[in-house]
Structure 1
């Protein structure tokens, strides 16, 4: 039979026992020996000893002999490992909470809404304060619900008389710090979905797996030092701190009983986690300030900015482009900064990979003009507009809006600008009316004027029936209308429209043109497009961009006279029987004429520009009766790419027609 316990009386020859006897200032020392493989043997030995002691003291004949010391088994409520698991599981939902704020911040930056708000005058401090306040109010409600659940289930570990304050403080400090940390991490992402997923994953790994690793290692006496060293490093992660604090609260009773802790606020309980997070909170906000503050961003971008960069002039530059540059240079030398609303001088944009998107373009726009940039995707139109609207700074040259330098006087320049980006910068959860009111408030328009402003813009852009509709439910065309309406809020002096009618059907597109024409009566408009028909309908001045260069600039008629390759002749005959006679006449009078469309009585021909407009008209007028023509028209090509095709094809680019 195995021996589970024994009693050893004092043996003066045993040094250890002598030391123990001296400590207790006595010589009658009894030592209990027990086999640790029997978990309850120590208690049984002690109970047996006291039972024998009572019997020896009272005597065998005592009436109290029927009494004896009994041992009761009181199982522990939780093992240490159980406390660790409970704390980690309670902590897991809190690790997911910072993923929501970071997703919205990245989404606003991704869709361009943040830039649009900055352009309208939103303060850096107002933006972050508003976000932080809203996120913390939502988190505060979550914290209260969590505390309520602890109370309902009587979790005295968390809501006991001496712990409720510590629990609340731990959760709130974690919320403040983790949200600020999420904002700091937001600058690492360009897509809101990946930001949310990665931040959530990092929080889970740091808050659960690392926490479990540290505490499981601490259970092994040989790894206690390693565990302690890891704690100091992992506390830099807020989700680890909240987990450590929760486990500390769960294990507090055991430590109080052993005398290794005095309260929940001890440094080894809540002290270190709270201290670490309190230090990290301003550190995270400092990162946000350094990365996102407009002054800091501009200082960093100016490192690559060279106002006096050499012009990049192609060898085959058009004379009109050269004349435009000379006129702009002359106005600058005379100090005239008020005659034009937009002045661009040798504007360049070179990316880090060496690609030059905009190659030293120069032009000016005068009050009341509608200036159209025409070109294919990748020509540099959007990059030019983005620089003028300060989405990013140029790397060379200069630009002025309403007389203000976009680099040196950026804030003043932005106050003059309205901007419709190429892709809709709308907030999905707001209605059309709420979006317009938001930007009206940012522009500084008094609240009493909002209803009239919203009514006017909704009427102008044909959004009246959608004003209460959430933006996410709008069609693509109506989103473009809303983007144009936002650009017009506040009556800016210059409105930049980057492909405003993209994705619209023909009917909606013409409605958009009407709105732009009406708005152009009160401001200058700069629009980009790759539709000749849109330029024909809206623009007073046209600049064609090809591979980063402005290849030609001027009014529409001048450019078509200079670069157009054909007249379009539309003829209506008295009868289809005269078609052969008319065809023979065209072959004799205009050998290079090409029949482009028409059957029967109506015929359309394209004529090369080797003869003047008046000569062509006179030829048809003289032969009208002989050819049995009941009606005809001679016009420059306007509704296809033919008007500028010779120019565009010569530079390897085709401009799309409508």
Structure 2
């Protein structure tokens, strides 16, 4: 009976891990769509801060994840699944574990989605991948624990795996559930033993350990908290891109290609370069681009010494052949990518990556359809109007 219950617990762990891996992965679908169609970038250019974007998304996703946990635990209570709902304390502890896992799993999903360009593929691979990793790690430790009772040589591998797998949030979730369910098995064994002794009155005196003890759920809860901060820090670093040495290497590579490239011979280009060089007051022109260059590889320049100035109130675009560098130029002007060389001044201030205050009075129409397709035309207009800070009375009549 005990072995049957243990197998049933493992089966329930597999099911609950599957559910809790699918939910965070589902939140990446919108993020991938937003990033690939450049809607995210357009919102940043319009004045939305990265912190606001990710914080509001995180709060909204957790507001969906948390009721799902409550629904799962209510189902356990209604159907009498004692392993998870044998006491109010147990319900609260399992809710805490599920919530801590969600806090870090959602953030790690945000990090992982950056590697995908297809929303459906992101959902499938993140959900299946995290589930597979969690199940394999958890079952490995469970099986070794069972076998080392007869084979002491497995104690060392068990210790190593138990420590290394703490780096996986899914492992911490699976083992926390397993340890918590194991406490219920201890309670059942104690109750059955006292019944055989005809002393059921001593059931309340059984020395039942707390679920949050270090060797039960405690260390796994702490690891999940650490994972939450680690995921948040990773996302912050990836968004800010504070890799100065890479930036320096890119500048050196671009400069070498510029030195080896041929000079400009077109008269119109020379005239525009001369116009930019003669500008004394940068405030007279909302946008001044001087000697802008970018190299993606060691062999070719994507953009070579582009210089131009835009007058106040002027709407401008770029025309040219495919591969001329139009998309790359606008990507640098809107801070989507870092320039390899040159300077950009917006409203008299030098453009600094991460500082978008210069875009307050600049509008940007992207090359591709950077709109949220789940919103209507009016809703998209209202969204960007609010991001721009237009008063609500001017948005809706």
TM-score category (smaller protein): 0.7 to 0.9
Higher helix share: 2
State the match for 1:327 in structure 2: 275
Please tell me whether residue 84 in structure 1 is matched to residue 16 in structure 2.
Answer: no
Residues 174 and 242 of structure 1 are in contact (CA less than 8 Å); yes or no, is this contact kept in structure 2?
yes
What SS is found at the alignment partner of 1:282?
Answer: helix
What's the CA shift for 1:180? 1.6
Per the alignment, do residues 167 and 371 of structure 1 end up closer, same or farther by CA in structure 2, a change over 3 Å counting?
A: closer
Select which of 432, 444, 453 maps to 2:389.
444
Does 2:134 align with 1:207?
A: yes
Aligned to 2:214: 267
Which position in structure 2 is the counterpart of 1:650?
A: none
Q: How far off its partner does 1:261 sit?
A: 5.8
2:122 aligned with 1:198: no
Q: CA deviation at 1:100?
A: 1.5
The 1-side partners of 2:259 and 2:347 are apart by 23
- Counterpart residue number, 2:378: 433
Q: Match for residue 349 of structure 2?
A: 404
Contact in 2 for aligned 1:103/1:192 (Cα 8 Å): yes
Q: Secondary structure at the match of 2:396?
A: helix
Assess, with a 3 A threshold, how the Cα gap between structure 1 residues 352 and 270 changes in structure 2: closer, same or farther: same
User: In structure 2, what is the Cα distance between the partners aligned to 1:413 and 1:266?
Assistant: 53
- 1:89-145 CA-partner distances (Å, limit 9, x unpaired): 232211222211233223322211111111111122211110110010000110011
- Partner residue in 2 for 1:94: 20
Answer 1 or 2: which has greater strand percent. Answer: 1
- Matched with 2:63 is 137
For the residue of structure 2 that corresponds to 1:245, the secondary structure is helix
TM-score by length of 1: 0.53
Q: What are the ranges of 5 or more consecutive residues in structure 1 without an aligned counterpart?
A: 1-74, 453-658
Residues 37 and 371, structure 2, Cα contact 8 Å, conserved in 1: yes
Per the alignment, do residues 358 and 290 of structure 1 end up closer, same or farther by CA in structure 2, a change over 3 Å counting?
Answer: same
1:126 matched to which residue of 2? 52
- State the match for 1:278 in structure 2: 225
**Distance in 2 between the 1:428 and 1:416 partners?**
26
Sort the Cα spacing of 1:196 and 1:447 in 2 relative to 1 into closer, same or farther, 3 A. same
Cα 1:103–1:449 change in 2 (3 A) is same
Equivalent residues of 2:303, 2:325 under 8 A apart? yes
SS of residue matched to 1:362: strand
Aligned length: 373
Distance (Å, rounded) in 2 between the aligned partners of 1:243 and 1:374: 56
How far apart, CA to CA, are the structure 2 residues paired with 1:151 and 1:77?
23
Residues 401 and 416 in structure 1, CA contact (< 8 A), matched pair in contact too:
no
Aligned equivalent of 1:154:
80
SS of the residue aligned with 1:197? Answer: helix
- CA shift digits 1:404-453 (9 cap, x unpaired): 3223794232223211211111112112121111111111112121115x
Matched residues in 2 for 1:323 and 1:254: separation? 84
Residues 408, 144 of structure 1: alpha-carbon distance in 2 compared, 3 angstrom cutoff: closer
- State the 1:210 CA deviation: 2.3
Query: CA contact under 8 A between 2:47 and 2:357: conserved in structure 1?
Result: no
**Aligned CA-pair RMSD:** 2.7
Match of 2:295 among 341, 345, 350: 350
Distance across 2 between alignment mates of 1:413 and 1:437:
22
Query: Is the CA contact 1:406–1:413 (under 8 Å) kept in the aligned structure 2?
Result: yes
Q: Distance in 1 between matches of 2:315 and 2:390?
A: 26
Q: Counterparts of 2:113 and 2:249 in 1: how far apart (Å)?
A: 24
Bigger radius of gyration among the two: 1
What SS does structure 1 have at the residue aligned with 2:309? Answer: strand
What SS does the corresponding residue of 2:370 show, helix, strand or coil? Answer: coil
User: Distance between the aligned counterparts of 2:296 and 2:124, measured in 1?
Assistant: 30
User: C-alpha distance in 2, partners of 1:88/1:145?
Assistant: 18
Which has the bigger relative contact order, CA under 8 A and spacing at least 6?
A: 2
**Correspondence list, 1:43-122, <5 A:** 75-76=1-2, 78-122=4-48
Does the aligned pair in 2 maintain the 1:215–1:227 contact within 8 Å?
no
Checking the alignment, whether the CA contact within 8 Å between 2:264 and 2:270 is kept in structure 1 is no
Q: Is residue 84–residue 215 contact of structure 1 (8 Å, CA) maintained in 2?
A: no
* Per-residue Cα deviation, 1:532-584 (whole angstroms, up to 9, x for no partner): xxxxxxxxxxxxxxxxxxxxxxxxxxxxxxxxxxxxxxxxxxxxxxxxxxxxx
What's the secondary structure of 1:444's corresponding residue?
Answer: coil
